[in-house]
Amino acid sequence: MDKIYLNGMEFWGYHGLFPEENKLGQRFYVDLELELDLKPAAQKDDMDQSINYGEIYEVTKTVVEGEAAKLVETIAEQLAQQLLQSFSLLEACRVKVTKPDPPIPGHYKSVAIDIYRSRRDD
């Protein structure tokens, strides 16, 4: 299966278990790997046979900057489901949501959730 990647998208959201996360918000990074057949689009040079990256970005922004969730896992799942519902050519997607500044003790670069969903999962 062919793939489209959107990497390092940055958003501001209010997700987390702690009240200060819901009030102050924080950065979230999203990486997407989208699986679909790109051969028809390439052969015909036809955008209608592919997925518009700008539209993917807007759906991602709406989910990540939308209603607050306690878990990053919830955001990843909501995004995967929204992408599969919104883009009929999309066969599957990998969604990685990174939280670079979680308010937990320790030294690390970030925490992240990485999920894979396909139409066959339904």
Residue 19: its pLDDT value, please? 86
Residue 39 catalytic?
Answer: no
How is domain 2-121 classified at the CATH fold level?
GTP Cyclohydrolase I, domain 2 (3.30.1130)
Digitized pLDDT (tens) for each residue of the chain, 122 residues in all: 999 999 999 999 999 998 888 899 999 999 999 999 999 999 999 999 999 999 999 999 999 999 999 999 999 999 999 999 999 999 999 999 999 988 888 888 899 999 999 998 75
Check 23, 70, 99, 109 and give the catalytic one.
Answer: 99
24/14 Cα distance (integer angstroms): 7
Query: Two tokens at 92?
Result: 């599957």
Q: Which of 30, 15, 118 is nearest to 66 (CA)?
A: 15
Would you say the C-alpha torsion 78, 27, 99, 94 has a positive or negative sign? Answer: positive
Residue 108: its pLDDT value, please? 83
